[in-house]
Structure 1
């Protein structure tokens, strides 16, 4: 079976929005004050073009944003937030502001989730909460200017349908959203607010939140084929109805379409299920239709967390199949949403505490030591695509850069033997190694016309041997904390995909026709002036 695509550089194209690079995730706000985190953010911003970064914990204890004195006086301290946001903007990245969790003196319960003990409970005083949000927004406007802050996004909370993250009911979340949206709009009508930031999509709409504050379903009807059912986003329909009935603004809709681990109820009861390889695209189509037919058809759609699994100890994240899944899901979802934010860019990430070893299955596209994983190259290669789509087929696209006329094609070999999203590899690397070895080579044929005669064309290949530092680390004896020399070698190995430079023929045609391994990603492109590698 051959993956084949042909395009003419002089043919008409259609606009292509790089929704995959709109936003990327990070762990928590305080981690962003570290030098390693900031260096890695600059690296992914330059290579992958990310425009926004979203993280938890902006109002957590370690950011010192709010405290209440014994006499009831509220004290606000924005110095740590200022330092973080200044550094983001200096790196060319804007904040996608997640407003949560509760500051300690407002939280109804404290330390409910994560190693860093986030206060996953609604604030006891909605008026005090609204005053804090208004003051923050006005502070940002004074510091950065209204025009700048109007380009940001303000998302209310994180996954309020899951108990550890929100020790309250659906009704309480809706009330919190209303208070937060009102506070932001009082500060400036141009600020963009949205939600409900729920996790996850669930089958057949049965657990999507149609019933008010249901704590647990007594019976879960098993389907013979869960993937044959329609999956729908949790709480979203009720959320949009609530906001419309009360005249609340919804500038964007957000939720988290992980293709695994769906919640049976609103309080943390789960069933683990790895869905079909095209589950993300199917979910985004459902979401697009739902929003288009809602009272808010002009609302943007931002999927503010997404990955092959929602575990920071899934070894699959360190392997090439994670990268191939990223490319496949994004290319199949062109035109459906405004962002699909990879969770997260760095293994400087402590929801479950520190990883015990350099490659521990963390979410990040870069290890704690700064070693790029294959998924880093997936986003770097996606960012190399142009802003006009010329051709598209199963497994490949060809694009054009409107400013230069240069062409860029991206292709991937997701072996048909793997019908699911990459299965998680928990507790060890055995499943990840088995999946990496699944499948057979395929022929890849990319034919381009309309190039300048003799023009240079670069072919970059990402696979198990190229752009993958994990085998090098294993050959070193898998050191938990690599030496400085080992770290330098791993960083170089992680950055080094296979590069080959060829030329178009005298008629301005170019043909790439080779056999590629399973889980390969291949980028065929002409150099773009001013773009880093």
Structure 2
């Protein structure tokens, strides 16, 4: 119950106004508290685990707070990876993979245990981290694919079955390589080299571990939508053809997307689902194993020529109010899309991550925290209104219906008024709201005084790139 014995109406209206400040027509938003839909899906996975910066940073508490459901392992401890990558755990590519002495699991074991201790599942990427420097060291095709596949089996035995002094971490999902279409930073070989490596490894895993899930190709570019028609890249078309021809299992199809438009994830996923179904992969699930905000749709600032203030601004936008609003709107847009799992890049102190190098949560972390609140209120409520790619809304309630959480995200670079109406409330004129805002100046840290809803309605003034987090409950008299 919201206590409202004393509050100043004018202070409340500073955050929640009953009229618009700029005279613009408000965006109409409706929550129907009487209509419960299927629950929100916990698809807010991330790349990389909580132990970072040479062991001086432990984000485990934050991962638990956010309820991170799944952690995909790629670019771990980038740019100097010392765990997970094949060159770390199987350092001599010519060694006998049947011998425990050929492996170095110590650091990776500790890293994996820390991930599992947060309660998250693991997607283990078998392969190498990205190499941006001109001289490539580890992203070459293995000289002996069969030996490499056998080494992957040794990793799985160690991690899941306790082989070679190992663990029993029950890791089910194994992804073969990362972005083999990203040449030469992730793969210096040909398409054919990757297709052979995938088929060899996937078949080996299926033979020895038939209950595990194997997938790929973790493509950086899956294709384009042209006039409503999906055109996959030649690499993707060939990969699927080769999986059929070589009888290679494909339990999940993994892909990546960095974009300024949160609606792009659903549109692309629906196109991928249609493609997989048409080509005979109806049982293959869809895994978005990397996603994030790409300001203005440009990578230029991440190139050497973009270093300096331009790059600093690039990452400020990704981790700031723009990126936070985008992250929330994207997680909402994915809910009803055929995306089975999704992993934000990244959860750790990586420049794209949820934390600064010194483990300070960014605004994107707070957006994840707001999404977690929807998950904690298990009854998803029907919502309507909003503007695709501009204003998004979601709501959920406790099972006993004594509290409703409403999130509204404004992605526009200018302020936007929004008229919210909540139908089907059982509390009549006792319904009130407390609002927390995230924008360029706030981090959900200054809740408004409670405001009584006027016949279930209230108008918000949403600043540029902002999220309104509303808690609606009966007010005390």
Q: TM-score range by the shorter chain?
A: 0.7 to 0.9
SS in 2 for 1:95: strand
Shift, 1:124, TM fit = 0.7
2:213 matches 1:192: yes
Q: TM-score, normalised by structure 2?
A: 0.75
Partner residue, 1:137: 156
Partner residue, 1:97: 124
Match of 2:420 among 445, 465, 468: 445
> What is the alpha-carbon root mean square deviation over aligned residues?
3.6
Distance 1:294 1:34, change over 3 A: farther
Shift, 1:80, TM fit = 1.7
Q: Distance in 2 between matches of 1:98 and 1:411?
A: 35
Shift, 1:254, TM fit = 0.3
Shift, 1:451, TM fit = 4.7
Shift, 1:149, TM fit = 5.3
Shift, 1:160, TM fit = 0.2
2:91 matches 1:66: yes
2:465 matches 1:519: yes
SS in 1 for 2:102: strand
Distance 1:124 1:451, change over 3 A: farther
2:210 matches 1:172: no
Q: Deviations over 1:205-248 (max 9, x none)?
A: xxxxxxxxxxxxxxxxxxxxx88875646633322222122222
Query: 1:31-110 alignment to 2 at 5 Å?
Result: 31=52, 34-36=55-57, 39-56=58-75, 58-60=83-85, 63-67=88-92, 75-101=102-128
Partner residue, 2:4: none
Q: Deviations over 1:251-278 (max 9, x none)?
A: 111011222xxxxxxxxxxxxxxx6563
Q: Which ranges in structure 2 are unaligned for 5 or more consecutive residues?
A: 1-24, 76-80, 303-310, 387-391
Query: 1:30-429 alignment to 2 at 5 Å?
Result: 31=52, 34-36=55-57, 39-56=58-75, 58-60=83-85, 63-67=88-92, 75-101=102-128, 113=132, 119-143=138-162, 152-163=172-183, 164-203=185-224, 230=230, 232=232, 235-259=235-259, 278-309=263-294, 313=311, 314-315=314-315, 316-336=317-337, 337-347=339-349, 349=350, 362-385=351-374, 386-393=377-384, 394=386, 395-402=392-399, 406-415=403-412
Q: Which ranges in structure 1 are unaligned for 5 or more consecutive residues?
A: 103-110, 205-225, 260-274, 350-361, 416-437, 468-495, 528-533
Match of 1:3 among 12, 27, 42: 27
Q: Deviations over 1:42-75 (max 9, x none)?
A: 3134125343243235554883433267999871
Q: How many residues align?
A: 413
Distance 1:154 1:87, change over 3 A: same
Partner residue, 2:22: none
Q: TM-score, normalised by structure 1?
A: 0.68
Could you say which structure has the greater relative contact order, defined with CA pairs below 8 angstroms and 6 or more residues apart? 2
Q: Distance in 1 between matches of 2:96 and 2:373?
A: 57
Q: Distance in 2 between matches of 1:40 and 1:458?
A: 29
Partner residue, 2:12: none
